[in-house]
Amino acid sequence: MPADDKYMHNIADNLNRVHRQIQQIADRAGRDAGEIQLLAVSKGQPAAAIRMAYELGQRHFGENYLQEALEKQQALVDLTDICWHFIGPLQSNKTRKIAEQFDWIHSVDRYRVAQRLSARRPETVAPLNVCLQVNIDDEPSKSGVTVEALPTLADEVIKLPRLNLRGLMCIPRSQTDLQQQRRAFAHLATQLGSLRHSTQLARLDTLSMGMSDDLEAAILEGATIVRIGTAIFGPRQSTA
Ligand SMILES: *Cc1c(COP(=O)(O)O)cnc(C)c1O
């Protein structure tokens, strides 16, 4: 079998397995698997791998690094209904390209960046879907707004005209115990619940949480977008 075919087979098997896992966990949780979107995290993977996943029906892809993403988007311009999510750290000097080239941003954690993204979102396309990244374990060196500062940030971001605030995202501290993993995700779900008490935030509908190693805990606690990289594409070839 040519190398490309083998890679394609792996991605097909992996995608099937992840879809099956999502279905099984959702069944156990009494949730509708249709409300859980699989975001294929393609950082460190070549454009050819994204194209293969696309041909297998995958439409949502997540990237962490702007330059790397732009190169792949260029190579994949013919895939007109592909949906690009930016999930990496945001630098304010890169907001123009990000606002132009992505459909979703999961990593907004300060007002200044949100404001710039809104100002730079072209009028010709729909408002940019945004999740606020929350530093859910309160780790000093980690990105994300603190739980304490979250309500104020949400109240500010919801007013920005070219952003569509959708919900919350987190990257918890790495844990292997399911109960420990669930605790962090439950904490994020609680934060979304309390924001939704306010009338202007009642329509927030997204919990972006869960990666290859904590998918189960995330779905059990209400994830609506799971961000899966290695379980779909295998080890990353570069993290430029
Ligand atoms: C890399 C990354 C993922 C995917 O991680 P895997 O362990 O490969 O599934 C998900 N979310 C974010 C924010 C990432 O940076």
DSSP type of residue 67: H
Question: How confident is the model at residue 197, as a pLDDT?
Answer: 98
Q: Of all protein residues, whose CA lies closest to atom 12 belonging to ligand 1?
A: 87
Distance 18 CA to ligand 1 centre (A): 14
Probe target for ligand 1 pocket from 209, 212, 227, with the most ligand atoms within 8 Å of CB? 227
C-beta neighbour count of 37 within 10 angstroms: 17
C-beta neighbour count of 164 within 10 angstroms: 16
Question: How confident is the model at residue 8, as a pLDDT?
Answer: 73
CA distances from 187 to 117, 134, 172 (A): 27, 10, 10
Rg of the chain, C-alpha, whole Å: 17
Q: What is the mean pLDDT of residues 79-89?
A: 97
Confidence (pTM): 0.96
Question: How confident is the model at residue 240, as a pLDDT?
Answer: 45
Q: Dmax of the chain from CA atoms? A: 57
Mean pLDDT score of the chain = 96
Query: 12: which residues sit within 8 A by CB, 6+ positions away?
Result: 56
C-beta neighbour count of 226 within 10 angstroms: 26
Residue 55 pLDDT more than 90? yes
Question: How confident is the model at residue 89, as a pLDDT?
Answer: 96
Q: What is the mean pLDDT of residues 28-45?
A: 98
At 227, is the secondary structure helix, strand, or coil? strand
Residues near ligand 1 (Cβ within 6 A): 41, 43, 64, 87, 171, 211-213, 227-231
Q: What is the mean pLDDT of residues 199-206?
A: 98
Residue 158 pLDDT more than 90? yes
150: its two tokens: 């979250």
Q: List the beta bridge partners of residue 207.
A: 168
Q: What is the mean pLDDT of residues 46-64?
A: 97
Ranges of beta strands (E only) in 112-212 are: 128-133, 163-169, 206-208
pLDDT in tens, 97-137: 999 999 999 999 999 999 999 999 999 999 999 999 999 99
At 142, is the secondary structure helix, strand, or coil? coil
